Structure 1
């Protein structure tokens, strides 16, 4: 257990290092933060904090920097998350626009967070899982082709173009679209593939001659909605952090961004606890880099699955600001989802 003096010294070391990126010495602490202790006393306390694993001593300076254990302790013990009114107003404005689909709101939240933090933001989750199939519209493109436009209730669109070899195939395509619209309108996107197999396919077997080809084409189009989405904003921001001036580190970062499977570890399970998770160094998708932190907050989609928003940056990122932002934004996303699904469930009763 740290003493009150040790806690104060440790807090100032972390916040000074986050701000400057330079190792922190006793004289700077004494003069800048007007600590009522001698330089020798501060050095002794810093040495104790180092022995306890909260600080590391660099080879190039007599100053100290926070350790991985220290950052975790700071986040769990000393952090006082707070979102200022300006940010709250930006979030309110974003969520007030009902013309945007939820996936668009999540993407714009990512962009807002990356702009406010100058770091990289990633959203994980099946963004379309919050939506329902609305209809398919068939648009002829000429004598020998047509495009089927699949639309959700939130405006998410997928297209599928068909080559039409004769009038009979056009009739089959129209019949197929009619069966899907009659059978599946209002179906949650997470359930459309199963419903296609169980409810639509048996009808097409009877009504449509070339049902197998058409069914597989629509199945492929619908599966695009259901795939796992990874959305990045501000990828370049992290590359300009001074910690990553080294070419090898830059190469590792870029490779990690391009490998979507790395981000699976940030995907929250349906039974994982809500709240903010802080991962540092080997705990992150950048397990081979010790100077990267990832702060994540999950949101419940109301459909036995979760999404998440994460911020990626150096270990000396401004934790107080980032934790506050991702927690506030994820809470608002979850509230929006729950309000929408709550209204739908009440209407169905």
Structure 2
């Protein structure tokens, strides 16, 4: 067990190294508000922390940097809540847009997270392909726009904004929706495109511009069941000095291409909902032996049924407190917005 002073020294080194990517010397530690000790005392504590495996040296005369064990102790015992209002505000705007699907929201959320953390975000969206269509509803907004509401068998609702062509009337859309509700009820989402082709001759007899309407509905359907795995921000993460050589870049790209936040999370979740998993260095057990990687992930549920996952990947030198706070808030935000 670390003493209070040793814990504070470790905390200073982790946070200073995270900001600067430079080894931290005793002078920097001595100037910190948390420490009231002589340079000799600080050097002795640093030597003990290094002996116990919490710190490392790049070479004999350098300052210290945190080890995987040091980061783990920091994550488990020393980090505190961070102010993430700037990120929250940007993501809140996405959730307030009723014209966006959950996949659209998560896709743009991934971009925001990467931009504001310099990490790569991996998003696994909820899988609705096996869900069935319960009904469609029409909600006119103006002469040129209407909202089409897709109600799924699990109770989930997707809203899509339709722009009405000059040759299309609200009446044409209403006729189309009545036909779709009659013919498509209880159809799996991934089978709807084929069913549209069966309906085409019937719709052609009742609606003049049936092709335009079918195209609009097909586009809306695609956005609901589009592939739900995406990565964001590789260009931001590669700005970190840890990935300044081709072999490291190759290793991290291979890892990200194969990572599944959901699978990684399942190993450590132990039944806890909306928890955040933090894996550091060799805890991830990479095949290529790269120890300088960290993975923070969480899962979420939509309508208490459909599960997805979000992960942020980067070097061990990252703001664990900030990223942990973001993921925890985001999982709760999704649950509150899309709970059954």
- TM-score normalised according to structure 2 size: 0.70
Deviations 1:165-190, CA, capped at 9 Å, x for gaps: xxxxxxxxxxxxx998546536675x
Following TM superposition, by how much is the alpha carbon of 1:303 offset from its aligned partner in structure 2, in angstroms? Answer: 4.4
**Aligned residues of 1:262 and 1:285 also touching (Cα < 8 A):** no
Q: Note the C-alpha offset of 1:113.
A: 1.1
Give the drift of 1:280.
1.2
Matches within 5 A, 1:95-134: 95-128=95-128, 133=133
Could you list the runs of 5+ residues in structure 2 that have no partner in the other structure? 137-149, 152-156, 161-177, 196-220
**Deviation of 1:268 (Å):** 3.9
Q: Supply the distance in 1 between the matched residues of 2:253 and 2:325 (Cα, whole angstroms).
A: 27
1:67 aligns with 2:67: yes
What is residue 11 of structure 1 aligned with on the other side?
A: 11
Bigger drift between 270-279 and 116-125 goes to 270-279
Question: What are the within-5 Å matches in structure 2 for residues 41-56 of structure 1?
Answer: 41-56=41-56
Aligned to 1:331: 332
The 3-state SS of whatever aligns with 2:308 is: strand
Distance 1:252 1:284 in 2: 13
Is the 2:158–2:224 contact (alpha carbons within 8 Å) kept by the matching residues of 1? no
Change (3 A) 1:131 1:98: farther
Question: Contact 2:8/2:35 (CA < 8 Å) preserved in 1?
Answer: no
Equivalent position to 1:265, from 263, 266, 275: 263
Q: Does 1:234 align with 2:258?
A: no
Alpha-carbon displacement from aligned partner over 1:304-333 (angstroms, at most 9, x marks no partner): 452221111110111111111111112101
State how far apart, in whole Å, the 1-side matches of 2:76 and 2:324 are.
11
Aligned equivalent of 1:171: none
Q: In the alignment, what sits opposite 1:297?
A: 298
State the superposition RMSD in angstroms: 3.7
Residues 188 and 298 of structure 1: CA distance in aligned 2, closer, same or farther (over 3 Å)? farther
CA distance, structure 2, for counterparts of residue 122 and residue 78 of structure 1: 27
Residue 35 in structure 1 maps to residue 35 in structure 2: yes
Unaligned runs of 5+ in 1: 137-150, 157-177, 201-221, 342-349
In the alignment, the residues of structure 1 paired with residue 130 and residue 100 of structure 2 have an alpha-carbon distance, to the nearest angstrom, of 13
**Which residue number in structure 2 is paired with residue 245 of structure 1?**
244
Distance apart, 1:292 and its partner CA:
0.9
Distance 1:272 1:130, change over 3 A: farther
SS at match of 1:315: coil
Secondary structure of 1:308's partner? strand
- What SS does the aligned partner of 1:128 have? coil
Matches within 5 A, 1:167-316: 182=182, 185=185, 229-257=228-256, 259-260=257-258, 265-266=263-264, 268=266, 272-274=271-273, 275-284=275-284, 286-288=286-288, 289-316=290-317
Contact 1:114 1:120 in 2 (8 A): yes
- The reply on whether 1:76 has 2:80 as its aligned counterpart is no
CA distance in 2, matches of 1:109, 1:3: 40
Q: TM-score, normalised by structure 1?
A: 0.68
More off after superposition, 44-53 vs 284-293: 284-293
Equivalent residues of 2:262, 2:299 under 8 A apart: no
Distance 1:287 1:65, change over 3 A: farther
Q: How far apart are residue 84 of structure 1 and its match?
A: 3.6
